[in-house]
Homo-oligomer: A and B are copies of this chain.
Amino acid sequence: MPNPLPAAPAGAGEHDLEVLSLHKGFAAFVAVQDLSFSVRRGSFFSILGPSGCGKTTLLRMIAGFIAPDGGDLRIKGQSMLGVAPNRRPVNMVFQHLALFPMMSVGENIAYGLERRGIKSAAAKAKVTDMLQRVGLPGSEGKRIDQLSGGQKQRVAIARSLVLEPALLLLDEPLGALDLKLREHMKVELKQLQAEVGTTFVYITHDQSEALVMSDQVAVMNHGRFEQVGSPQQLYYQPATAFVAGFVGNNNRFEGRVETRNGEQVLMRTAQGLGLWSQRVGALDVGQTAVLFVRPEAIEIGRQASELPPGDPAFSATVHSVLFDGGNSTVQVNEATSGAPLHIALPLTGRLADLQTGETVHFAYQPSQAWCFQA
């Protein structure tokens, strides 16, 4: 597996969180392996990975609910080893929010302030101000069950933010919301973070959330980070096959490298389909490889002439059209090998009327496809 690129810990001045060789196992199972990274002050940092990869374990170590087996963990330069969760300058937004149902909105937000011994008038002012900032002015007296899903979300965040933590940890807070609301809250959360300027460490298994909101995303797998970078970097320059497959939709092919031409390689699948692509990492002729090309990186047309000249072109038969407005795709089988591919349909709806069985032509730039050692 190619080496991930952990951001090296820098001076405490710039970084709110530094994680150094953090390690945690449950019995024989290693949940978090020797992890090192740091999070820049004021940034929105996401950890993206499939279920069970260790995200929650990592976050809970930062919050202090789980003690690491090894390594260090510094917040604002101070080691947090042995510091109880209620004494760490971090707050957490839980997956199911964990709002206190027996308290009103105002009481929920004031809870942490009161624990700090802040007197009720001062606390009240802060609560009012905080509710204003999350767009729920005057909701102090409401019961939790009177709130909509999105409003609950905002109260949960307000409850943490009011304590002005150095770090806000969020564990898939949008997971329980329905689709439309989730779309909406993504944008709202990003804006909120930009306004308050608090450092967010955000966990999700939904790549769209991570891409839309984050300044930096770490892609996690089996307790390690595969790649840390900006959303664009992950999307356009995946460092590992895992990242290429996990972030964004992708067509995936397996085969053996036939030819190499500088940084580009030609891979041939078992069914005989030959595909050019960018190689990532060490890879040479004769090695088995996996190749990814994104549905939206493929140009499609009824005529071969519609395709941009220069790129390798293929013809194919339409298997089925998955019409979904702006996200429509077509499933085709390449003509000679029969290999199935998904291709995104143009946004304009130009090809929305494709019919099953029709012949189409497609092409892609080899520089937009990546090949990894298998």
Which of A207, A232, A320, A326 neighbours the largest number of chain B CB atoms within 10 Å of its CB?
A326
Q: Mark A179-210, 1 if CB is under 8 A from B, else 0.
A: 10000001100110000000000000011100
- Contact across chains for B236 and A352 when beta carbons are under 8 A apart: yes
Known contacts A348-B296, A348-B297: does B212 contact A323 (CB below 8 Å)? yes
Number of copies of this chain that the complex holds: 2
**Chain B residues with Cβ under 8 A from A249's Cβ?**
325-326
Asked if A173 is at the interface (CB within 8 A of a chain B CB), the reply is: no
Residues of chain B contacted by A352 (CB below 8 angstroms): 232, 235-236
Q: Is A295 an interface residue (CB 8 A)?
A: yes
Given contacts A297-B348, A344-B347, A353-B232, contact A208 B248 (CB under 8 A): no
A208 in complex: contacting residue of B294, B296, B327, B346, CB < 8 Å: B327
Choose from B211, B344, B347 the contact partner of A323 (Cβ within 8 Å).
Answer: B211
> What is the CB-to-nearest-CB distance from A108 to chain B, in angstroms, rounded to a whole number?
26
Give residues of chain A (340-373) contacting chain B, Cβ–Cβ below 8 Å: 344, 346-349, 352-353
Q: A187 near B326 (CB under 8 angstroms)?
A: no
Q: A325's contact among B235, B320, B349, by CB below 8 Å, is which?
A: B235
- In chain A, positions 209-240 with a C-beta closer than 8 Å to chain B are 211-212, 231-232, 235-236
Who on chain B is nearest to A206 by CB?
B179
**Minimum C-beta distance from A350 to chain B (A):** 11
Bound-complex Cα distance A353 to B235 (A): 12
CB neighbours of A344 from chain B (8 A)? 326, 347
**Alpha-carbon separation in the docked complex, A344 to B231 (Å):** 17
In the complex, how many angstroms separate the beta carbon of A183 from the nearest chain B beta carbon?
9
A235 in complex: contacting residue of B247, B294, B323, CB < 8 Å? B323
Number of interface residues of A (CB under 8 A): 36
Taking the nearest CB of chain B, how far is it from the CB of A324, in angstroms? 5
User: Contact between A211 and B324 (Cβ–Cβ < 8 Å)?
Assistant: yes
CB contact list, A160-180 vs B, under 8 A: 179
A5 at the interface (CB under 8 A from B): no
Is the pair B349, A347 in contact by a Cβ cutoff of 8 Å? no
Contacts of A374 in B (CB 8 A): none
User: Which of B187, B207, B323, B346 is in CB contact (< 8 Å) with A232?
Assistant: B323
Q: How far is the CB of A112 from chain B (nearest CB, A)?
A: 30
Q: In the complex, what's the smallest C-beta–C-beta distance from A193 to chain B, in angstroms?
A: 12
Report Cα–Cα, A186/B212, bound state, in Å.
24
Instruction: Tell me, yes or no, whether A125 is within 8 Å of chain B by CB.
Output: no
- A8 in contact (CB, < 8 A): no
Q: Taking the complex as formed, is A322 at the interface, i.e. its CB lies under 8 A from any CB of chain B?
A: yes
Closest B residue by C-beta to A319: B191
Provide 27 A-B residue pairs closer than 8 Å at the C-beta atoms, listed in order of the A residue.
A186-B322, A187-B320, A208-B324, A211-B323, A211-B324, A212-B322, A212-B323, A231-B323, A232-B323, A232-B353, A235-B323, A235-B325, A235-B352, A236-B349, A236-B352, A247-B325, A248-B325, A249-B325, A294-B325, A296-B348, A297-B348, A297-B349, A326-B327, A326-B344, A344-B347, A346-B347, A347-B347
A residues at B contact (CB < 8 Å): 179, 186-187, 190-191, 206-208, 211-212, 231-232, 235-236, 247-249, 294-297, 320, 322-327, 331, 344, 346-349, 352-353
